[in-house]
Chains A and B, each alone.
Chain A
Amino acid sequence: MRYKFARKAPVIPYAVFLILFVILPILIIIYYAFTDAQGYFSFESLVEFFTNTTKLDVLFVSLLIGFFNTLLCLIIAFPLAYVLANPKLNNNYVLVILFVVPMWINFVLRTGAMKEMLSWIGINGGTHPITATMIGMVYNYLPFTILPLYSTMLKLDRSQIEAAKDLGCNPLQTFIKNIIPQSLPGIVSAGMMCFMPTMSSYVISDTLSDGRIMLFGNSIYLSFSQLDWNGGSFMSLVMLVIVFLTMLFTRRFSRNTDPERGGASW
């Protein structure tokens, strides 16, 4: 009996943490999402959300910006990670660190500095809200994209690359037909690391576009600041569902490849 207790004991702190900070908040969100201001069960928030075109527009814009930000980050990060992880081109870990260093500086501070620098070259929230937001987004989420890709690239099977060349792939074909499929788990997790926070972020768009671009995160923030707890909770729930669906979708990619080679745990 004592032995059994001893084995279970280390789980308790995590279980408590999980219940207090993950499960309970979700339950509270669900509770508020499906009640009205008086605390009675209702679909008021649901109906309100799906009939309000501004809220749906905001969701659509957020998805779009999230998608393009992910795409841009991947396009920039992929070759970079490949070069960084290739021992022939780079055997210096310092370079990798350099790309991650910006993460050490406060996120709001970084964004504020970004705003100043962009306005020097004439891109400010007033004139180019979308450009400014996109630049800020890519800049902020690039390190998150590089790291999972880098760790996958470190584990690339060189003999597979050689096999592809041997079978007639020129360098470009080797890249498309072997290196990309091999690093797919890394691409997927990098994409998730980029897409999900972009969706919910509001500081970047708020600061850089002078409040002209409203993302889903801004919208949720606004609801709560206007004491519309039920509406805000329902939007948070929508957000949760989107995140859940993305994870469901991306798991399909990482599952049928070798788990040892994945960067999915990032």
Chain B
Amino acid sequence: MKERNERLTRRTRAAIASLFRRSGEPREKEEPQAVQVTPEAIQTPQPAPSVTPESTPAPTDIPDADKIIELKHVTKVFDGVKVIDDENFYVRRGEFLTLLGPSGCGKSTTLRMIAGFETPSSGDIILDGRDIVPVPPYKRPVNTVFQHYALFPNLDVYGNVAFGLKLKKVPVALKDKEGNPVLKINRSKIRYFRRQIARFEKDPVISQEEKERRIQEFQDQIDYLKTHPEPAYRNRKLTDEEIDDRVMRALQIVDLDEMEDRSITKLSGGQQQRVAIARAICLEPKILLLDEPLGALDLKMRKDMQLELKEMHRKLGITFIYVTHDQEEALTMSDRVMVMSNGLIQQIGTPTEIYNEPKNAFVADFIGDSNIYNGVMTGARKVRFLGREFTCVDDFPLNQRVDVVVRPEDVELFDQAGEGTFAGHIDSCVFKGIFFQYSIMVGSQEVIVKSTRAFPEGSTVFMRISPNGIHIMNKELSLNVFTDCVIDKHNQLTVGEATFDIDVTKLLPNSKLDDDGYLVQGEHRYDLSGLKVTATIRPEDVRITDDTSEAQVTGTVDSSVWKGDHYLLVVHTSDDEDYVVSTPYAFTAEDTVGLSIPAERIVLKVKGDLSAHEV
């Protein structure tokens, strides 16, 4: 297999080299005005800018010329629901950016807006200095590799790859007999600005003044264009030889040469994938969009394709925007990773930054395995969690409640008390090939540890976490997310010591409870007792009262922040949980309060594998 890969890479390199060599010279002579359509990224290949892991510049840090695409205040509303909320990011020229997040986080919508299949409700998408929001997909210099390839089954391999090339038109400057450029009113530009105006008139997000100001700007542009003719172009189709040449080179790059007359339906999944990639790259797009392209392949094939795609990206110099929910894939392939959840960008950074310095508990939880604890700052670079104090490298204000993230591989295990600072009891041990994965109980809290040292199950070990292995992050105050909830045998939800009478049928679509208390979905029956779930409660859904007798949970008010029209309280309960509560009434710190939460407002998500609970 390794030998095959090397051979393949060598061929791929040769093919890509020829793509650059041949696409450059002859076309430049006959199409001096081809700048608009022919991506210069290909004609002058630049290696992907090396991104230094220690710094992520903020969006404003790099000059506009280095950004191939920038999304500014992009918001997308579907049926009154904001699926993308004020999204701002940019992609560097030649970069490999991965959009990573769970399903429904808005990553695919973002990609589809760049491709042009969705129109943002508000905001601009600037591609090479030009807002492409009103430009229809077939005029955008970007191409997509679809999740299920979306090949045309009525065409063979050649026909599929040539599909776009046969439609492609290259502009040729119109010259009169003396060789001077012909001037005409640029109607397509006027149409573009008219569409911009139409778009802004419907924009539901921006303010009225902003709206009028921008519409006026476009109107001025139209008025100017109407009186100022510009050099005109005529469009020319590619010749059959040009098409043939580019198809063959693209097929060589994806290692499918000599397959051009195969029928699409006779190809394997991996081969179809390659055709889909060839079909997109032969058009030499400025940006190649990949929407979970490896999702339908088996594991082995996926690993090979990951490396090949990365190699292709390096050689082609095209900017790649890649969408995936597979964090390992994202870390392996990308120059930078953008983690999304609930339509918001959680963090943008290099794979090392995302892994080592997650900005919040969501990122930490989503990327790799991690232990997340509630902690309190007890001094300068001192944090208290797992019932004891640790030295850390991050500085936060004294007494601030924080999330503490410890990666399983950052916990060292010892059998002697001297080297380890705290003891734990090994609950389970799983051999994973190159390491053991331990679940170690420290009191009632679990620590997941990956270690190459072998310890027997049931024994007591001593652990040490170095300051560099402790990542401290601000606690999210926007939502109550309880990651350690369990469904008990009465199908009730247990959060800390409180139980809630929830509707478990919401966990699975079209499911119902049977007489024995099992959850039934189609032919599957699940025994939910002991099922770990994540419960999310919005602060405004928590009812807070002075009367502790009727409440489900009691606790003391930890902090209270006035947010303009409501107070945001943090209530620390007797069972060590923190609830974020939004209320119009004033409570002061140390007040004892009761909380009650309508069970139907609790959003549940199954953690781990539900099939283990199948009866």
Q: Determine if B153 and A258 form an interchain contact, defined as CB atoms under 8 angstroms apart.
A: yes
Within residues 271 to 295 of chain B, which ones have a CB less than 8 A from any CB in chain A?
A: 279-280, 283
Cα separation A258 to B154 with both chains bound (whole Å)? 9
Which partner residue on chain B sits nearest A168 by CB separation? B167
Q: Determine if B138 and A163 form an interchain contact, defined as CB atoms under 8 angstroms apart.
A: no
Cα separation A170 to B136 with both chains bound (whole Å)? 9
For B144, list chain A residues within 8 Å (CB). Answer: 162-163, 166
* A155: min CB distance to chain B, Å: 13
Q: From B115, B153, B154, B265, give the contact of A166 (CB < 8 A).
A: B115
Q: Report if A167-B167 is in contact (Cβ < 8 Å); known contacts: A162-B117, A258-B265.
A: yes
* A79: min CB distance to chain B, Å: 21
Q: Determine if A159 and B154 form an interchain contact, defined as CB atoms under 8 angstroms apart.
A: no
Any A CB within 8 A of the CB of B350? no
Any B CB within 8 A of the CB of A42? no
Any B CB within 8 A of the CB of A181? yes
Q: Report if A181-B154 is in contact (Cβ < 8 Å); known contacts: A165-B136, A165-B138, A166-B137.
A: yes
Any B CB within 8 A of the CB of A114? no
Any B CB within 8 A of the CB of A90? no
Q: Mark B332-347, 1 if CB is under 8 A from A, else 0.
A: 0000000000000000
Helix, strand, loop or mixed for chain A's interface? helix
Q: Report if A162-B150 is in contact (Cβ < 8 Å); known contacts: A167-B163, A168-B283, A169-B138.
A: yes
For B154, list chain A residues within 8 Å (CB). Answer: 181-182, 184, 257
Within residues 222 to 259 of chain A, which ones have a CB less than 8 A from any CB in chain B?
A: 257-258
Q: Determine if A257 and B138 form an interchain contact, defined as CB atoms under 8 angstroms apart.
A: no
Any A CB within 8 A of the CB of B75? no
Q: Mark B131-152, 1 if CB is under 8 A from A, else 0.
A: 0000011110011101110111
Cα separation A159 to B148 with both chains bound (whole Å)? 8
For A167, list chain B residues within 8 Å (CB). Answer: 138, 143, 163-164, 167, 279-280, 283
Give the interface size class of chain B: 20 to 34
Chain A residues within 8 Å of chain B by Cβ, number: 21
Cα separation A138 to B430 with both chains bound (whole Å)? 72
* A184: min CB distance to chain B, Å: 7
Within residues 141 to 187 of chain B, which ones have a CB less than 8 A from any CB in chain A?
A: 142-144, 146-148, 150-154, 163-164, 167-168
* A188: min CB distance to chain B, Å: 13
For A57, list chain B residues within 8 Å (CB). Answer: none
Q: Determine if A166 and B143 form an interchain contact, defined as CB atoms under 8 angstroms apart.
A: yes
Within residues 138 to 170 of chain A, which ones have a CB less than 8 A from any CB in chain B?
A: 157, 159-160, 162-170
Binding site for A on B (CB under 8 A): 115-117, 136-139, 142-144, 146-148, 150-154, 163-164, 167-168, 265, 279-280, 283
Closest 7 CB pairs of A and B: A167-B164, A168-B167, A163-B150, A159-B150, A181-B154, A165-B137, A166-B144
16 contacts between A and B (CB under 8 A): A159-B146, A159-B147, A159-B148, A163-B150, A164-B152, A165-B117, A165-B137, A165-B138, A166-B117, A166-B142, A167-B164, A167-B167, A167-B280, A168-B164, A174-B138, A184-B154
